[in-house]
């Protein structure tokens, strides 16, 4: 029997609103979707566990899954589609659907757990989620390098691969998390990568620094944007930004920032499209990238009809006939 901290009911769903179940040896956790990320981290810390997710600590886990809220930590730990093992959700008819389970290899057929990530509540409302967890890091290490994406590329294929990395106009930041032995090893061996400096910090300081860097500045007359381009074309896109403030997840070709005027927004969209990417403006939590491919739209509309034939869930982001 696994050691556990439990608050659950005998009825479905697996846990009641605000409920949770933590399994220490299995390194998995079940949470109600209305629990906040802060609440989840506090409960996990009771068993020295941690959920490696970037996001607003006061946002609910369900909303983070709906918007596929991911950040730089996915370099080391993956995104929601990698962390989730199972979900329970209701469709438009109010039927309870259970997908996945508590183990890694638990799917035969369609993986509805991954399908629901980033669905913005269009196909169902998440009620509970089962996620893998990790041992809570003892601390963190931050290595600063010159602002050169090639440095990151060289580190990714070595034991010095960071758990997260962000590129700005002025520096390349690489973050490492782990127990004391692991951090000491990184501290000793990072010298071979010739960083500008290496500094220790607490897990809380590491989370806050990453959140500040990944939060696009909001200014009057500016539109917040999130661009996605092939990593090999990232430098071309950054060169097009001129004086615009930006931060890039160089490993995945994601850039966040804020751009002035509609003219600039139009130019950025055109540049991203030419490079094989896209740009989304506005709030990540309320705006969807709208597919313009007729075949893709037809598939999504058929899925919408199957899960929500009475249109009781969130609508599609385009008009349907």
- Each residue's pLDDT tens digit, 154-163: 999 999 999 9
Summarize the confidence of residues 182-199 as an average pLDDT: 96
Kindly state the helix (H) or strand (E) to which residue 41 belongs, with its residue range. helix 37-45
Domain 222-281 coded CATH 3.40.30.10: no
Region of poorest pLDDT, from 45-54, 63-72, 160-169, 212-221? 212-221
- Whether residue 9 is predicted with pLDDT greater than 50 in this model: the reply is no
Burial of 93 (0-12, 13-18, 19+ CB in 10 A): exposed
Reduced to 3 states (helix: H, G, I; strand: E, B; else coil), residue 125 is strand
| DSSP secondary structure code for residue 9 in this structure | -
d(CA 168, CA 184): 26
Cβ neighbours of residue 162 closer than 8 Å, sequence gap 6 or more? 75, 76, 143, 152, 155, 174, 175, 176
Residue appearing with tokens 């709906």: 66
Domain 4-135 coded CATH 3.30.450.20: no
d(CA 290, CA 269): 13
Per-residue model confidence as pLDDT tens digits over 262-311: 768 888 889 999 999 988 887 543 344 556 678 888 898 999 999 999 89
CB of 9 closer than 8 Å to CB of 16: yes
- Whether residue 12 is predicted with pLDDT greater than 70 in this model: the reply is no
Q: pLDDT at position 260, please?
A: 79
Residue appearing with tokens 């259970």: 98
Cite the residue boundaries of each domain of the chain with CATH code 3.30.465.10: 4-135
Reduced to 3 states (helix: H, G, I; strand: E, B; else coil), residue 221 is coil
Q: pLDDT at position 2, please?
A: 38
User: What are the structure tokens assigned to 44, written together?
Assistant: 């996990």
User: What are the structure tokens assigned to 169, written together?
Assistant: 């106009």
CATH class of 139-203: alpha beta
d(CA 72, CA 75): 6
Cite the residue boundaries of each domain of the chain with CATH code 3.30.70.120: 222-281
Summarize the confidence of residues 52-73 as an average pLDDT: 93
Summarize the confidence of residues 103-115 as an average pLDDT: 69
Q: pLDDT at position 292, please?
A: 62
Per-residue model confidence as pLDDT tens digits over 111-138: 889 999 998 899 999 999 999 999 999 9
Confidence (pTM)? 0.86
**Closest residue by Cα to residue 221 from 263, 256, 261, 257:** 261
d(CA 144, CA 152): 11
- Whether residue 1 is predicted with pLDDT greater than 80 in this model: the reply is no
d(CA 312, CA 92): 5
Cis peptide before 13 (omega within 30 of 0): yes
Q: What phi, psi does 144 have (nearest 5°)?
A: -105, 130
Summarize the confidence of residues 33-49 as an average pLDDT: 95
């Amino acid at each position: 029997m696994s050691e556990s901290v439990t608050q659950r009911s005998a009825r479905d769903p697996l846990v009641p609103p605000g409920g949770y179940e933590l399994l220490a040896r299995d390194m998995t956790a079940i949470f109600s979707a209305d629990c906040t990320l802060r609440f989840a981290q506090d409960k996990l810390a009771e068993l020295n566990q941690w959920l490696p997710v970037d996001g607003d600590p006061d946002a609910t886990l369900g909303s983070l899954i709906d918007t596929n809220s991911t950040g730089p930590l996915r370099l080391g730990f993956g995104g929601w589609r990698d962390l989730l093992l199972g979900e329970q959700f209701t469709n438009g008819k109010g039927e309870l659907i259970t997908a996945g389970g508590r183990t890694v290899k638990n799917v035969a057929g369609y993986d509805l757990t991954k399908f629901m990530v980033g669905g913005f509540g269009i196909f169902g409302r998440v009620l509970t989620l089962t996620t893998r967890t990790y041992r809570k890091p003892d601390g963190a290490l931050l290595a600063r390098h010159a602002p050169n994406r090639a440095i990151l590329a060289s580190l990714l294929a070595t034991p010095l691969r960071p758990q997260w990395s962000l590129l700005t106009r002025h520096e390349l930041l690489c973050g490492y998390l782990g127990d004391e032995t692991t951090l000491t090893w990184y501290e000793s061996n990072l010298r071979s990568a010739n960083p500008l400096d290496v500094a220790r910090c607490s897990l809380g300081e590491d989370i806050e620094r990453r959140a500040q860097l990944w939060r696009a500045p909001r200014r009057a007359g500016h539109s917040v944007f999130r661009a996605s381009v092939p990593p090999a074309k990232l430098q071309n896109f950054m060169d097009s930004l001129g004086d615009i403030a930006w931060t890039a997840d160089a490993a995945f070709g994601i850039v966040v920032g804020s751009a002035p005027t509609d003219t600039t927004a139009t130019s950025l969209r055109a540049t991203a499209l030419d490079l094989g990417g896209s740009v989304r403006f506005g709030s990540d939590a309320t705006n969807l990238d709208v597919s313009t491919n007729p075949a893709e739209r037809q598939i999504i509309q058929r899925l919408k009809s199957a899960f929500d034939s009475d249109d009781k869930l969130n609508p599609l982001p385009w008009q349907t006939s």
